[in-house]
Copies of this chain bind each other. A is one copy, B any other.
Amino acid sequence: MSLLVVGTMAYDSVKTPFGHRDRALGGSATYFSLCASRFTDVNLVAVIGEDFDPKDLALLSDRGVNIEGVERQAGKSFHWKGEYGFDLNEAKTLDTQLNVLATFDPKLPESYTKSDYVFLANIDPRLQQKVLDQVTAPKLVACDTMNFWIDSAPDALKKTFERVDVVIINEGEARMLAKTPNLVKAAREIQSIGPKTVIVKRGEYGSLLFHGADVFSGPAYPLEEVFDPTGAGDTFAGGFMGHIARQNPERLTGELLRQAIVMGGVMASFTVERFSVERLASLEAAEIADRFRAMKRLTHFDDLTGAPTK
């Protein structure tokens, strides 16, 4: 099934305690597409500048990503510069240059308008809605967002939320949006806006899925070496949406959502093992199935024998 993604394609300059990369391939739509294309057909919508390396575009199209919707504009590509401390939990943004992203006005190629699944990565919620306006009859729509839009465009963001099935959001941003430190309450608050499903990303602690009244704790794979957390969240979304699109269920069940969230965690765990998209680009299909099995082993426990009676 076809999976449309709109988001950023960027060059990132990233420094972590384990090394640095200057102007390495990045951006939410890049990570998402490279990941989701393992599972299904991906229709990519983004804007790039004149400086965007044809080799980086080829990396995507060679994986089968449809890049017809990638618009090249005069000017430079979006550039992000950031640094992570030893705990790798939070990036310190040193510089953001929007460049061609500042005037991005997503227009979908005709062939994209019939996409079955849609992921609206973290961009201006008004642009997210513009994309959604152009898709005829999507089966499932998910979106991400960030603190900047929660602060600066709360009404537009609410309108996006009203039109999506799944909100995927960081822990800190869920708390900020719902104005409560309690994640269960925060997720219920977001659900009350419209989306039946809320996924809260908690970095190295995994994720929480709220689907109707059901709650699922999605595992994170404990890694001995984490080089660069950049793109983990977008890769997570790519594994999640990719798995669902590949299964293309008649009706979305809680069980498939659980499996898709574990797949999101599996894929994210690869991304952070190397800088930029290095690991994601070189990944073998068998490694994915292996790590999914490891996730099962990581979280499995037997039913209770001998409950306390006192």
Interface residue ranges, A against B (CB under 8 Å): 37-39, 63-64, 86-88, 181-185, 188, 202, 205-206, 208, 215-217, 219-220, 222-226, 242-243, 246-247, 255, 258-259, 261-263, 285, 288-289, 292-293, 296, 298-310
Contacts and interface: CB of A to CB of B under 8 A. Distances in A.
Contacts of A309: 285
B215 A222 contact: yes
Contacts of A289: 304, 307-308
A301 B308 contact: no
A88 B39 contact: no
Contacts of A246: 306, 308
A247 B302 CA distance: 14
21 contacts: A39-B308, A39-B310, A86-B181, A87-B181, A88-B181, A182-B225, A182-B226, A184-B222, A188-B224, A205-B206, A208-B222, A258-B300, A258-B302, A259-B302, A259-B305, A285-B307, A288-B307, A289-B304, A292-B304, A293-B304, A296-B303
A119 to B, nearest CB: 17
B298 A216 contact: yes
A275 to B, nearest CB: 17
A161 to B, nearest CB: 21
